[in-house]
């Protein structure tokens, strides 16, 4: 094969997203940060977060009827391979009544790699440092997928910091299979290639498993996931994060020790973590309220109206 032909094939592969080099942080931020984006230094890392809404005022600054200064702040934690963007539909529906803070976890989104480590305990400690840096009092911690496990472990380790817990299709129990992107990141034969060869087809396949409703995502969603995955350092971080899942240490036996009001929300069509796992959470967490939705792995995106409405009702009944 001539050098010219090899170069042409390489250019075509790059355009197709097969050979996908890292993107510099400034380039990714230019596309996926906006006027709501803020950055905070935690352990030397530049952490991307958004802090929106208010417990006492509407976006216009006028008081919101029925809202008191005691309304809790929501702290939202996304899952593996995702970013704080996954919470957009909730933010649109909840910031009239609540202050909503969401953050890109280490190795995800615009935050990028983090020297503090990627074990579950490291992510829990990271969340506490973010809460402290922002000066938040007791919060309602809501987490999806891996973010769900970060959330319930946070509630175990920092019960005085948590007013309530919301778990959406949360990790925490063994499951029979893992997502395609996780298999690629943990397969020894593929790990080296994963650093550079991250085709958009892999992103599309992954998203087709995440969402039950095929109309819930589009090419813009693919572009966002692909770009954020390629943010410098994120692919190495993802490998480190999912490798930690091979550690057989689990804490789900401690769920019975949770003392905070807990709402469990689950998509009945979740292809990654079946609803039977949601039932285990509902059974094992004392007093948990369990709700299901005709959705896949991210019910806050596919059924935002119903999930946000149930959250409001739950907080109205269980958090004062």
Where is pLDDT greater, at 175 or 157? 157
pLDDT at 176: 67
Where is pLDDT greater, at 268 or 191? 268
pLDDT at 114: 85
In a domain, 16, yes or no: no
Report the alpha-carbon angle 252-256-262, nearest 5: 95
> Does position 66 have pLDDT exceeding 80, yes or no?
no
> Does position 180 have pLDDT exceeding 70, yes or no?
no
* Token pair recorded at residue 8: 């042409």
In a domain, 245, yes or no: yes
In a domain, 279, yes or no: yes
Count of the separate structural domains present in the chain: 1
Query: Are 32 and 228 in contact, with CB atoms under 8 Å apart?
Result: yes
CATH of residue 173: 3.40.50.1820
Query: In the predicted model, what is the mean pLDDT of residues 181-195?
Result: 57
Report the alpha-carbon angle 248-252-256, nearest 5: 155
pLDDT at 237: 87
> Does position 1 have pLDDT exceeding 50, yes or no?
no
Calculate what percentage of the chain has a pLDDT beyond 70. Answer: 80
C-alpha span between 185 and 59 (Å, rounded): 42
Range of the domain at 37: 23-318
In a domain, 9, yes or no: no
Q: What digits encode the pLDDT tens for the residues 191-233?
A: 555 555 678 888 999 999 999 999 999 999 999 999 999 999 9
Report the alpha-carbon angle 118-228-79, nearest 5: 50
Q: Regarding beta strands 45-52 and 99-103, do their DSSP bridges make them parallel or antiparallel, or are they unpaired?
A: antiparallel
In a domain, 13, yes or no: no
In a domain, 218, yes or no: yes
Query: In the predicted model, what is the mean pLDDT of residues 33-43?
Result: 95
- Of 48-57, 121-130, 253-262, 270-279, give the lowest mean pLDDT range: 48-57
C-alpha span between 46 and 25 (Å, rounded): 10
| Residue 15 to residues 12, 21, 31, 104, 218, Cα–Cα distance (Å) | 5, 11, 18, 27, 19
In a domain, 272, yes or no: yes
Query: Are 166 and 281 in contact, with CB atoms under 8 Å apart?
Result: no
C-alpha span between 232 and 221 (Å, rounded): 19
pLDDT at 178: 62
In a domain, 189, yes or no: yes
* Token pair recorded at residue 212: 């039950």
pLDDT bucket at 249, cuts 50 / 70 / 90: low
Q: Which helix (H) or strand (E) holds 45?
A: strand 45-52
pTM of the model: 0.87
């Amino acid at each position: 094969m001539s050098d010219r032909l090899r170069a042409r094939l390489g250019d075509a592969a790059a355009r197709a997203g097969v050979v996908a080099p890292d993107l510099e942080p400034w380039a990714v931020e230019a596309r996926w940060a906006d006027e709501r984006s803020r950055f905070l230094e935690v352990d030397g890392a530049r952490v991307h977060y958004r802090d929106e809404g208010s417990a006492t005022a509407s976006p216009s600054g006028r008081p919101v009827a029925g809202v008191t200064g005691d309304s809790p702040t929501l702290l939202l934690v996304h899952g593996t391979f995702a970013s704080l963007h996954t919470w957009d539909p909730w933010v649109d529906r909840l910031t009239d009544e609540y202050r909503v803070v969401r953050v890109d976890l280490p190795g995800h989104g615009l935050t990028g790699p983090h020297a503090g480590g990627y074990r579950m305990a490291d992510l829990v400690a990271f969340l506490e440092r973010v809460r402290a840096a922002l000066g938040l009092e007791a919060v309602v911690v809501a987490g999806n997928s891996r973010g769900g496990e970060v959330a319930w472990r946070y509630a175990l380790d920092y019960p005085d910091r948590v007013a309530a817990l919301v778990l959406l299709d949360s990790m925490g129990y063994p499951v029979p299979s893992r997502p395609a992107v996780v298999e690629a990141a943990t397969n020894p034969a593929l790990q080296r290639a994963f650093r550079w060869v991250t085709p958009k087809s892999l992103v599309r396949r992954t998203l087709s498993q995440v969402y039950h409703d095929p109309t819930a995502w589009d090419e813009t969603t693919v572009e966002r996931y692909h770009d954020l995955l390629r943010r410098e350092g994120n692919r190495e971080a993802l490998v480190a994060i999912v490798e930690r899942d091979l550690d057989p240490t689990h804490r789900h036996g401690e769920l019975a020790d949770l003392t905070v009001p807990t709402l469990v929300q689950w998509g009945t069509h979740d292809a990654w973590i079946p609803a039977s796992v949601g039932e285990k959470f509902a059974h094992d967490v004392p007093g948990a309220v369990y709700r299901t939705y005709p959705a896949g792995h991210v019910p806050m995106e596919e059924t935002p109206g119903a999930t946000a409405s149930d959250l409001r009702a739950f907080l109205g009944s269980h958090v004062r």
